[in-house]
Structure 1
């Protein structure tokens, strides 16, 4: 008869570190001899944990995800020998490791069990799905069916979690069919998992069909749809569903608010957002953390910066998301200088900026043409090790180009280890902004040589560069290359660029013919006619200007621009009667020219960087 050794150090650590285990060990004296003889061991081993006690402790540790204590229990079970040939404990141990994210250890135990229950298969599938290994979860699910085990209502939610990727939507639909055949489609937990899978894959129509057929819905059902619509660029449906849920059931929780507040932010629905905020205050909900960040983002995007700042200042603890929301709101809709000052305050308070922070602040510098601050921020980026991030590098390229330092822009561009399409487009646009059309065309060709396929934005950048520098032939060639080589249908702004290219070169008749001969979308776009009107103003062609102005007025009747331009052209020709007619027509339509103003920005320099 062999007796397993009981290390005294294991028992000591269990009793001291895991208080609940002291119930089993505090009465039993520690033996200085770790391996007593069989004759000495009998009475002492009566105090070892039984199989049932170990199972209960493992279940508790699984629920609390306490890996440290789980490792101690595992060591105790190995030392005491209670784990040998014990499928019950091995199953509990596998569940503990899977719940704590130690999927490899869980799989090793799983593979060593000969007779696996459905619960054990579910444990491993959940572990793979929950900790970022969806393909392994789906493979294990397939193996489970191959071994003759039937999936149950606890299996499908984990399998559907593994299908929450657009590339796996076909697999998810196949599992949906299996769910319908097995009769679990009406189970609320399985149906909620289907909603989550379809929303993550961007298939909200499929999710809506599942939602409409559900015989029983709970709060999780509504929350999944609310957040799904917000995530898939349908904020109006998200807000409407939240309103219906609140009106019909009166139920909501923090997840409901975290789903609907981003929808309000995207819609800039300030009125509805403030009503939700008031509802939260009346209910006594604590406004901090994620909820407060969501409200700050909503108020910032809705240009209610006073409310956003009050919430921000009242927060007991502010993370990078809080700072990003308030800085972004100030930079885009309020005082950009205040946004830069907030960034400096964020830096002084020791909150490390993330990529979003840097992009927002660099964008603010670009709008303010704050070159000195931008250069200081560039140095800050280098010190923090963010210089190799492609989006940060692209923002720096754009900043230097807009602030007049094209050489620095090109230097940053050349030093970028990775360049994407946006980076190339920014550099092309920078050349066009500085009137360097030939360099812009060369950069565009260099981009294609590197295997980067141009898109609509990059074609806009290069056509605009050709327009600003009078490269008529190059512009025409690139425009036709867009449709003939890359099979991209030109949009109105591409047509506007060609009209501008021809108009600046004095080919007004060709520009007019180009508009008439193109598709109907270009003829019905006011921007195209405005490009022709601007060219007519440069070259004093009143006849074509009248045609362009009439088309703009018919497409944008509340736009004062064509009235002003054609009136000024009549004045240059001393056609005072026509000037009075145009002004009278504008007044009759209730239009008034806005007074002009100038903006002078002194360089704010370096603030606390």
Structure 2
């Protein structure tokens, strides 16, 4: 309607009437970029193309249709762009993820003598954060102080994001502490900063302070802090947050509920995870996948598969996460036919092009004893990261193909993939299964000497088991004495098994006493 009225205007119409009609058309909104261009053309037609107010409205509309090239054309046609036009360009470029262009526009703005204001700084600082452009961010911070905007909560929060994203958490905390009236966004920014650098305890502690201040957290902050509890295995804090979720009426939020399920699952409380899962009114595929993976990773494969079948009844197609959970459950149960059926619910190309999915399928076949199928999937994988190589090496080793596992390790080295701790666990377990002491020593020694990897207690346990099974009881005992950490019941138990196998009653008695003392000290049951 408004467009028709613009078309009916003539050059004889008063400038005021033209302005009113064009403004009315703009305020009614645009349906397409073609619509925007018609209005822009009308501005030229009636000599209003240098009107900064109207140009600003057209600029904003152009960004809504992701037409950054056209917005640049509009901007550069302005003879005397004011700070509002500059701000609209910077804001629009940031909103369309053109972060480098946004910083370049900011530099041009300063070069041409314009001073940024409280609308400029948050967006250009966001661009710096995404680009990790710390030097420019520092200069902008100095200008913020110079222009007296250093108490603006939105600008300070943007600075906080900049410092945390660039890895300067102590500076970020100083900025945070200096914010006079912190809002939820400021708190969430600081909490996220801690989580991003794996300082999970500080994130949880800060969330507690947020609640103590009487602020109401939003769903994003709750999801983030629940992920911190999951990483820490902090069930107590997670349960407290669960009560806060109920208090603030966030229980029905699917993102919060899914994060709650994930937290309980990773903390090992599957009963509460299921309670949270059942309380979600409308479950999406992520919620189902989280619960399925939770069952699988907590040693409940039957429950994982039952839930997967229930998800199938809901007509939901599996995603990569639910598929990984199902394949893991099948591997644990040795249900190769079921795993094979489940894998066919997704295109084989998804497995071959996704290392996570491919690894799960290789692992399932290998643990079910179908090494031929596992090997075929490995060969066809389009992208092999270290986890994929590890799955194949461990699969070969656990199925008795230890020499081929060694050969595959050699190919892995030649391909430029650096082994990790899990690589050597597979190799050492293979050596233990067939009693290859010299190879086991060689791989164990090369961890630190060649690859700068520090052996864990699990690696020491494998070596003790290997030596003890081979009758090298004194060597195994000496290795335990030389360990940089205290040996646990499993390590001593490996030596005890060797003592019994080779009938060394004196050392066996010593081991039994050590295990008994450890059980008493740590109150754990050793089988």
Aligned to 1:440: 405
Q: Deviations over 1:183-204 (max 9, x none)?
A: 4332211111122233444543
Aligned to 2:19: 51
Aligned to 1:241: 206
2-structure distance, mates of 1:155, 1:546: 75
The counterpart of 2:338, out of the listed 373, 379, 386, is 373
2-structure distance, mates of 1:185, 1:210: 10
1-structure distance, mates of 2:272, 2:475: 53
Aligned to 2:88: 123
Aligned to 1:404: 369
Q: Secondary structure at the match of 2:455?
A: coil
The counterpart of 1:213, out of the listed 178, 181, 200, is 178
Q: Deviations over 1:548-591 (max 9, x none)?
A: 4555556664468xxxxxxxxxxxxxxxxxxxxxxxxxxxxxx8
**TM-superposed deviation, 1:265:** 4.1
Aligned to 2:68: 103
Aligned to 1:427: 392
* Residues 460 and 494, structure 1, Cα contact 8 Å, conserved in 2: yes
1-structure distance, mates of 2:212, 2:341: 52
* Residues 508 and 532, structure 1, Cα contact 8 Å, conserved in 2: yes
Superposition pairs for residues 182-581 of structure 1, below 5 Å? 182-270=147-235, 272-282=237-247, 284=249, 287-333=252-298, 335-382=300-347, 385-516=350-481, 518=482, 521-522=484-485, 528-549=491-512, 552=515, 557-558=520-521
Q: Deviations over 1:182-225 (max 9, x none)?
A: 44332211111122233444543332222122233222212222
Say if 1:304 and 1:549 are closer, same or farther in 2 by CA, change over 3 A. closer
**TM-superposed deviation, 1:271:** 5.2
**TM-superposed deviation, 1:162:** 2.0
Q: Secondary structure at the match of 1:489?
A: coil
* Residues 390 and 420, structure 1, Cα contact 8 Å, conserved in 2: yes
Aligned to 2:103: 138
Q: Secondary structure at the match of 2:31?
A: helix
Say if 1:504 and 1:349 are closer, same or farther in 2 by CA, change over 3 A. same
Aligned to 1:604: none
Greater Rg by CA? 1
2-structure distance, mates of 1:515, 1:259: 41
Q: Secondary structure at the match of 2:347?
A: helix
**TM-superposed deviation, 1:513:** 3.5
Aligned to 2:39: 76
Say if 1:386 and 1:346 are closer, same or farther in 2 by CA, change over 3 A. farther
Q: Deviations over 1:341-369 (max 9, x none)?
A: 33233334333332222222222222222
**TM-superposed deviation, 1:383:** 6.1
**TM-superposed deviation, 1:375:** 0.3
Mean Cα deviation higher: 403-412 or 181-190: 181-190
Mean Cα deviation higher: 430-439 or 213-222: 213-222
Say if 1:274 and 1:453 are closer, same or farther in 2 by CA, change over 3 A. closer
Aligned to 2:127: 162
**TM-superposed deviation, 1:256:** 3.9
Q: Secondary structure at the match of 2:346?
A: helix
1-structure distance, mates of 2:272, 2:525: 33
**TM-superposed deviation, 1:272:** 4.8
1-structure distance, mates of 2:410, 2:286: 39
Mean Cα deviation higher: 445-454 or 129-138: 129-138
Q: Deviations over 1:285-325 (max 9, x none)?
A: 57133233333334444455455445544544321112112
Which gives a bigger RCO, structure 1 or 2 (Cα 8 Å, sep 6+)? 1
2-structure distance, mates of 1:76, 1:270: 59
**TM-superposed deviation, 1:460:** 2.2
Aligned to 1:598: none
Cα RMSD, aligned residues only: 3.4
TM value normalised by structure 1:
0.76
1-structure distance, mates of 2:16, 2:316: 50
Mean Cα deviation higher: 176-185 or 427-436: 176-185
**TM-superposed deviation, 1:431:** 1.4
Q: Secondary structure at the match of 1:454?
A: coil
**TM-superposed deviation, 1:464:** 2.2
Q: Secondary structure at the match of 2:372?
A: helix
2-structure distance, mates of 1:314, 1:88: 51
Say if 1:117 and 1:538 are closer, same or farther in 2 by CA, change over 3 A. farther
2-structure distance, mates of 1:194, 1:495: 46
Say if 1:442 and 1:223 are closer, same or farther in 2 by CA, change over 3 A. same
Say if 1:271 and 1:550 are closer, same or farther in 2 by CA, change over 3 A. closer
* Residues 431 and 440, structure 2, Cα contact 8 Å, conserved in 1: yes
**TM-superposed deviation, 1:438:** 0.8
The counterpart of 1:89, out of the listed 50, 54, 64, is 54
2-structure distance, mates of 1:90, 1:415: 56
Mean Cα deviation higher: 209-218 or 83-92: 83-92
Say if 1:407 and 1:592 are closer, same or farther in 2 by CA, change over 3 A. closer
